[in-house]
Amino acid sequence: MRFPRTMSGKGAPAGSLVRFAAFAVSVSLVLAACGGSDDKGGGPPSGRPPGQGGGQGGGQGSTAPLQSQVIMQNGKVRVDLMALERASDKVVIARMRVVNQDAGAFSFGHTLSGLAQATPAQGVQRDPNAISAITLFDPVNSRRHFPLTDPGGKCLCTRYLGTPQLGAGQSLDLVAAFPAPPASVSKLGVLFPNAAPFLDVQAAARPGATLAVEGGQQIDPARTQTAPPRILQVSAISENATGVEEDLGDDLRVRVSSDVLFALNKADLTPRAQGILKEVAGKIDRSPGNSVKVDGYTDSSGNDGINNPLSQRRAQAVQAALQKLVTRQGVTYQAAGHGSADPVAPNESERGRSLNRRVTVSFARPRPATPPPATSAPSGNGKTVLRIQGTPPAGYVGGWPRNARVEISPLRRLSDGYATLSWTVVNDDSTALQADGVFKGLSLEEGYYEFGGNGVALEAGNVRYRVLRDAQGNGFSSSFAVMDSQTKQLAQGEALTLTAVFKIPTELPSVTVDIPGFGKAQNVPVR
């Protein structure tokens, strides 16, 4: 089943559109019962023409959404965030509306449940008949919150049967209850699959707000028994001369390659290691915490009898060096060796094994250094254009066009250091461009789930910033996992717009954007 592609001139065959429309009627009836109106912010039943909701004050029945975004697969399908409500100190409710302004029907496929991304290796448990892939983002504590479920695993959100589809000119109401972040977090994000994220959204106090579940039954999620909440840590990843740094909100994790710190199979620090660890010590000196963890790891070569004691000795060597380099008093250290456990990349390639040979130093995130004087961002709000290069990125499969481009918009600056990047790839060549093969980069080897635009990166000075990702490797970028082959493949004249979220220093007026296969765009403004 293929997604209509009206944004770039490609549509589904006429026969499939008939099948879409016929099935959409039965599915929308089920969805209408799940996401219907109530007197605490709900709207009219689904399946109506857009713009016919009632109600006041920005609830789901209002005609004024808080924010709107379009679906990646079809630019004529819009997602409106109608309300974000704190129903209690334990629950936040998100109310959304999807509007199909296309001439044909639109199929969500597995987008809303996220089953295409739920692999046994990730251990993801999702309700297959619910919008369980829509998540809440706490930017202050760097956490991703999945919808609440009852003890039996049913999502406290809009549920459906079959594959949800939306007929031409119809709209669809969706609602989900999430575990609430702390009350001190005033602005939240809502991540809707394959749409640009809704960020910096003020959650309104709405004590006692309810939502409709199966059969139209209204429930108070704050009073409903639920399974333990599913909340994942989110990492903001940067690469610099020290190594790889993961900003975890409260904590900072600095990962340094053992190949730099030690000779092969040795635990004696190299001369180069002293300079690197001096930089790490400087960060510990600025940390508000008094405890430091040092963890050593190896790749899977050899056996545990060799790897475990080697990783332990290496961790102890790094600890001893840091104790001499850190200047403040009262810091305690804990060193441990883990051998080949907890790999950050597959061990099947040399690149992956190199990433797994590491020592990680973890401590409370340092207070930011005094920022340099602010400078103005480059003038103009136009797009920066990069032309395709002659050599495809590593891992690309298929023909490589000679004439294609990406158009990069200025980054949108958000609170707490976050920024969103949007870029449009346009294929002007007769050879098809495999979009998913271009932008994912070496995802698995870099610790990312492979079906996303996670190969795109930002640079400023000697620091390289990577796409945000959660603890299971899901990047905060447009995903190709739920798309059919036609959507991923751009024929001549077709275009596709993608997005990604990063965390960068608040004082940066511009960045360099690195697009696999297209090169680097200098001085892209951050607005």
- What CATH number has the domain bearing residue 414? 2.60.40
Quickly count: other Cβ atoms within 10 Å of residue 350's Cβ.
10
What does the alpha-carbon distance between residue 331 and residue 337 come to, in Å, rounded to a whole number? Answer: 20
Task: Give me the pLDDT at residue 231, please.
Answer: 95
∠ CA 491-112-67, nearest 5°, is: 85
Residue 157 covered by a domain: yes
Whether residue 515 is found in the same domain as residue 462:
yes
Whether residue 437 is found in the same domain as residue 317:
no
Q: Which class for 373: exposed (0-12), middle (13-18), buried (19 or more C-beta within 10 A)?
A: exposed
Q: How many helices (H) and strands (E) does the chain have?
A: 7, 31
Instruction: Please name the residue that has the structure tokens 């219907």.
Output: 36
Task: Give me the pLDDT at residue 193, please.
Answer: 86
Point out the domain boundary residue: 332, 364, 396. 364
Segment 4-21 mean pLDDT: 32
Among 30-34, 131-135, 186-190, 209-213, name the one with the lowest average pLDDT.
30-34
Q: Name the pTM for this structure.
A: 0.83
What does the alpha-carbon distance between residue 472 and residue 164 come to, in Å, rounded to a whole number? Answer: 26
Whether residue 242 is found in the same domain as residue 224:
no
Whether residue 100 is found in the same domain as residue 148:
yes
Task: Give me the pLDDT at residue 419, please.
Answer: 95
Whether residue 50 is found in the same domain as residue 182:
yes
Whether residue 218 is found in the same domain as residue 300:
no
Whether residue 352 is found in the same domain as residue 395:
no
pLDDT tens readout for residues 136-149: 999 999 999 999 99
> Quick one: pLDDT band at residue 118, thresholds 50, 70, 90?
very low
Point out the domain boundary residue: 200, 229, 258. 229
Q: Which of 325, 342, 343 is nearest to 273 (CA)?
A: 325
How far from the centroid of its chain's Cα atoms is residue 297's Cα? 27
Q: Is the pLDDT reported for residue 57 higher than 70?
A: no
Task: Give me the pLDDT at residue 368, please.
Answer: 66
Give the count of domains, the chain: 3
Residue 466 covered by a domain: yes
pLDDT tens readout for residues 172-231: 999 999 999 999 999 999 999 889 999 999 999 999 999 987 777 789 999 999 999 999
**Average pLDDT value for the chain:** 83
Residue 375 covered by a domain: no
- pLDDT over 70 percentage in the chain: 81
Contact yes or no for 299/353 (Cβ under 8 A): yes
Task: Give me the pLDDT at residue 336, please.
Answer: 97
pLDDT tens readout for residues 359-418: 999 999 997 655 555 555 566 668 999 999 999 988 888 899 999 999 999 999 998 899
What does the alpha-carbon distance between residue 225 and residue 243 come to, in Å, rounded to a whole number? Answer: 44
Task: Give me the pLDDT at residue 377, please.
Answer: 59
What does the alpha-carbon distance between residue 74 and residue 109 come to, in Å, rounded to a whole number? Answer: 13
* Contact residues for 326 (Cβ-Cβ < 8 A; gap 6+): 281, 284, 285
Point out the domain boundary residue: 364, 397, 429. 364
> Quick one: pLDDT band at residue 352, thresholds 50, 70, 90?
confident
Residue 163 covered by a domain: yes
Residue 376 covered by a domain: no
> Quick one: pLDDT band at residue 15, thresholds 50, 70, 90?
very low
Q: Which helix (H) or strand (E) holds 76?
A: strand 74-86
Determine the angle formed by the axes of helices 271-285 and 304-325, rounding to 10 degrees.
Answer: 60
Q: Positive or negative CA dihedral for 470, 152, 205, 191?
A: positive
DSSP, collapsed to helix, strand or coil, labels residue 6 as helix
Domain at 273, CATH number:
3.30.1330.60
Q: Which of 79, 195, 107 is nearest to 486 (CA)?
A: 107
User: Phi/psi at 20 (nearest 5 deg)?
Assistant: -55, -50
Segment 462-474 mean pLDDT: 91
DSSP, collapsed to helix, strand or coil, labels residue 22 as helix
Residue 378 covered by a domain: no
Range among 51-55, 281-285, 392-396, 484-488 rated most confident: 281-285
Whether residue 308 is found in the same domain as residue 401:
no
> Quick one: pLDDT band at residue 238, thresholds 50, 70, 90?
very high
Query: Who wins on pLDDT, 13 or 504?
Result: 504
Whether residue 248 is found in the same domain as residue 221:
no
Report the residue count for the chain. 527
Whether residue 75 is found in the same domain as residue 143:
yes
pLDDT tens readout for residues 426-455: 999 999 998 888 887 666 667 777 677 888
Residue 371 covered by a domain: no
Q: Is the pLDDT reported for residue 33 higher than 70?
A: no
Q: Is the pLDDT reported for residue 523 higher than 60?
A: yes
Pairing of strands 204-205, 74-86: parallel
What does the alpha-carbon distance between residue 428 and residue 492 come to, in Å, rounded to a whole number? Answer: 5
Domain containing 330 equals 235-364
Residue 434 covered by a domain: yes
Q: Is the pLDDT reported for residue 42 higher than 90?
A: no
Whether residue 326 is found in the same domain as residue 224:
no
Whether residue 190 is found in the same domain as residue 283:
no
Instruction: Please name the residue that has the structure tokens 């395709």.
Output: 388
